[in-house]
Structure formats: C-alpha cells, structure tokens
Amino acid sequence: MSSMLSLEDLPDALLAEIVKRITNTSDLKSISLVSKRLYTIEAEQRSSIRVGSDLCPAIDALSALCSRFPNLLEVEMDYSGWSFQWNLLEKHIFSLHFPVLRDLTLYIDDIRMGCLASCKNLMSLRLNSVSAIGSRGLLSVAVGCKNLTSLHIIKCKHIVGSDKWLEYIGSAGSLEELVVKNCKRISQYDLLKFGPGWMKLKKFEFKFKRSFNTYEPRDPCYVDNYQYGYDFCCESLKDVTLATIVTKPEIGLRCLLTKCKALERLCLHYVIGISDHDIITISQNCSNLRSISLSQEMLLCEIPGGTGVMARTPFTDDSLNALALRSHMLEAVELMFYGCAPDWSSEIAFTQDGLVTLLQCCPIRHLVLRGANFFDDEGMEALSSAQFLETLELMQCVAVTDVGMRFLAQSPCLKNLTLQMCYEVTDDGVCEVVRARDLESLTVESCNQISVEALQGAAKSVHYKVDCPSYYDRYKD
C-alpha cells in the first residue's frame, strides 16, 4: 500500500523551485497562506516589490515589508505627494534591510540621497519626479554606488547638468544606460561633458517635454569659424533616442549620429535641425541598424532647386532610399507625422514610392504609420507582398479603405494588426483580413465604421475602443 506524501514532506529546494515559477503577485500572496514553510520560502525567494501610498504609516509598513523579504533585488516606491522622515528611513530600511538591492525606482517628492549611497550593490537607479533631489545628492550616490550601470532621471527639476555629478559619473565609466527626460536644468550641451563615460554607454535617451521650439541652440564651448568636433568615443552605443531638441550641423547631440557605429535602434522625435544628410550618414556607418522611429512636424524647408521655402516635414525619400540601399538588417520602422492636413499629402516629404522601396529592400517585420496621409490602397497592395511583415499599425491613415484591407488579407506573415482613426475602413474590410489571416492580436480604436460585433473571435487577443487619446495628446510628452 503506497503512502501519501504531504506538502510538509517535500524538500525546501523543491518548494523553492515551485515558488520561483509563480510570477503573479496575488498567487504568491495566496500560496504563502497555505503553510508556514511556504510563507518563509516565498519571503526568501521574493526578489522584487512595488509599494505605494496605500501602505500607511509608510515608515512602519516599509520596514515590515523589507524585514519579511530579505533578498529583494528590485524595489519600486511610489510615494509622490508624501513627506518622509528620511533619517528614519535611512536608519531602518536602506542601511539595514537592502543588503543586496540592485534596482531602485523612486516616485517621491523628497528624499535624502545620502541614504542611497549605503546600497553598495545598487546597479540601477530611476528617479521620477523627485523634486527635492539636487546635483549634490546625485553626486553622493555616484560616489557611494560604484556598481551603478543604469541611471534614469525624469522630471527632476533641481538637478543641474553643469554641476560635477555628470563629469564624475563619466570619469568612472561604469554606466551602460543613461536616460534624461524632462529635466529643465540639464541641457544637451551638459551631456556632452560625460566624456569617457560615452565609451561604455550602450543606451542613451534625452528628451524635453513637448513644446514648440523657437530658440536658437548655442553650445557655450563653440568657437565661430573653427572646425568643430567633440572629442569622445561612443562606439558601444546601440540604442539612441533624441526627442524635442534643436540642433545645428556642428554642435550638440547631433554629433552622436556620426559616431555610433554599433547603432541598432534609433529614435528621432521632433528633433529640429537634422536632415536627410544625417540619415544617409547613419545608413553608411551603421550596418547593424535594426529599428528606426521618426516623428516629424512641418517646418520651413528649402524647395529643391533653391527657389524658395515651403512648409513640409524635413526628411525626404533620399533618407528612405539610403536606408533601403544599405540597412539590410532593418526590421522595425515607425513613421509619425503631426500637424499635416489629411488632404495635403505634399506637406509630408516622404512619398509612397519611397516607403514601398524600403519595404521591398529590407526585412521589415514591424511597421507603424501615424498620420501618413500619403499612404493609400496602392501602398497597401505593395505592403501585401512584404515577405516578413508580422505587425502593422495604421493610425490616422485616412486614405486607406476596405480595398486596401482586401490587399492586406494576402499578406503572408501578418499576425498583429492595429487600426486607429482609420475612418474609411469598415466591418467588411476588417472581416476580409480576419477570414484570411490567423491573427494573434487585433486592436481597433476610434474607427467609427467598425463595430465591436464584427471583431468577435477575430483574433486570439482583441481590443476595441470607441474613442482614444488624440494624436497630439498621446505624443506631446
């Protein structure tokens, strides 16, 4: 007669392996209530936690949680709008209960940065809307946390880019990821002082809050009538995002575009001053480019032939043709246009022929078009023959109709489809694609001729909304 094994008969190592395979937080909470052993093992195995203002009183609650979970590697704290007794937090939490912490995210209005310097194993730090942090506090973290490889600074209004913290982190040369977003006292010229830090950096993102740029850029180190260049190496950079800045040919962060030979992913969102020449240079220097995202708005641009100026987007088919000719690993393309009238395709300097050439020459798997008023049903016909296309997102593409959807139904590899504000597409067009393709996901938002009934069982994952955020609201930040 065989004996029955109970939970208590299983070895700790096996129970730990079971707990590791459970990723849902509510399931972990439930399993910890089954027995004292599982309660203890779950606490030992928990490596990440997110806490917010629902835990009150904050200091006591945080202290209790950190005592229960001694091996936390990742912690996210969202206490924006709260004020802490940071001397208590430093004494009872950071210095005592986070001995192995590697990843910390803070959404907190006030914090003493000195308490973070005691987290010697800290590798990733994200500061979001931490208004009281200044340059001195950030410098103390840089000095204390020698293993820091990732730093995100978001909406921190008192950190000054011209202070010493940036040069110190750069000289240490440990960062592999640097993200600076919407910090009004850090300029693109400050970031060029990162010096030797650029050599190891693999990901870089710099962005200002969305606004209309009317100022003229000026590097304080620039000398007129002198051949200019920034003396640093960034050949490890693979992922670069520049957003909402103004550049000129010889100054500012634009210089990165000529130096990043290992570049794989590039996002240029509303960067005023760059031109076809920059994209052509990238196509010539970056043979590993896999993803490109371009957001453009109308600017005053010179008419070909030098006969005057006109309002249009800055990039032309010269950029698309250069990518088609040399970027043989390009898999993801995102083209977004803002402020261009739906019935004035000439306001966008890209043409349908240029886009089709790119699709025919590169193994595009993921294509996103937003506000592309030049793209119509003929473009959809060309798109249907793209051999590698798996994901297509059409947003505010007003010239695409059911005819284009019927062409899309012939696309050999299409798995994911998103339609947003495509007002000429109806139930009939969507059903043509659904019948022909076994879609993984289908998203329809603010398409007033498509009904939710037509999407029943249309894909493994279906998302439908009658409306959606406006184009400008979604991308203004």
Predicted local confidence at residue 222, as pLDDT: 66
**Percent of the chain's residues with pLDDT above 90:** 45
* pTM reported for the whole predicted model: 0.83
CA angle 449, 452, 455 (to 5 degrees): 100
For CA atoms 257, 260, 262, 265, give the dihedral sign.
negative
Residue 213 banded pLDDT, cuts 50, 70, 90: very low
Residue 474 banded pLDDT, cuts 50, 70, 90: very low
**Percent of the chain's residues with pLDDT above 70:** 81
Residue 323 banded pLDDT, cuts 50, 70, 90: very high
Distance CA 445, CA 464 (A): 6
198: left (phi over 0), alpha (psi -120 to 50) or beta: alpha
Predicted local confidence at residue 200, as pLDDT: 94
All structural domains of the chain, each given as residue ranges with its CATH number in brackets, are 8-45 (1.20.1280), 47-201 (3.80.10.10)
Selection from 214, 213, 335 nearest residue 268 by Cα: 335
Distance CA 458, CA 434 (A): 6
Is the pLDDT reported for residue 476 higher than 50? no
Tokens of 216: 């003229």
Predicted local confidence at residue 83, as pLDDT: 56
Distance CA 105, CA 127 (A): 6
Tokens of 199: 């050599």
CA angle 22, 28, 32 (to 5 degrees): 125
Predicted local confidence at residue 217, as pLDDT: 60
Kindly give the interhelix angle for 317-326 and 352-361, rounded to the nearest 10 degrees. 10
Residue 475 banded pLDDT, cuts 50, 70, 90: very low
Q: Model confidence over 246-284: pLDDT tens digits?
A: 887 777 888 899 899 999 999 999 998 899 999 999 999
Is the pLDDT reported for residue 12 higher than 60? yes
Is the pLDDT reported for residue 454 higher than 50? yes
Q: Model confidence over 148-180: pLDDT tens digits?
A: 999 999 988 888 888 888 889 998 878 999 999
H helix or E strand, kind and range, residue 189: helix 188-191
Is the pLDDT reported for residue 377 higher than 60? yes
Q: Model confidence over 130-152: pLDDT tens digits?
A: 776 778 878 888 888 888 999 99
Is the pLDDT reported for residue 477 higher than 80? no
Tokens of 148: 């820091």
Q: Which of 61-75, 159-173, 208-222 has the lowest mean pLDDT?
A: 208-222
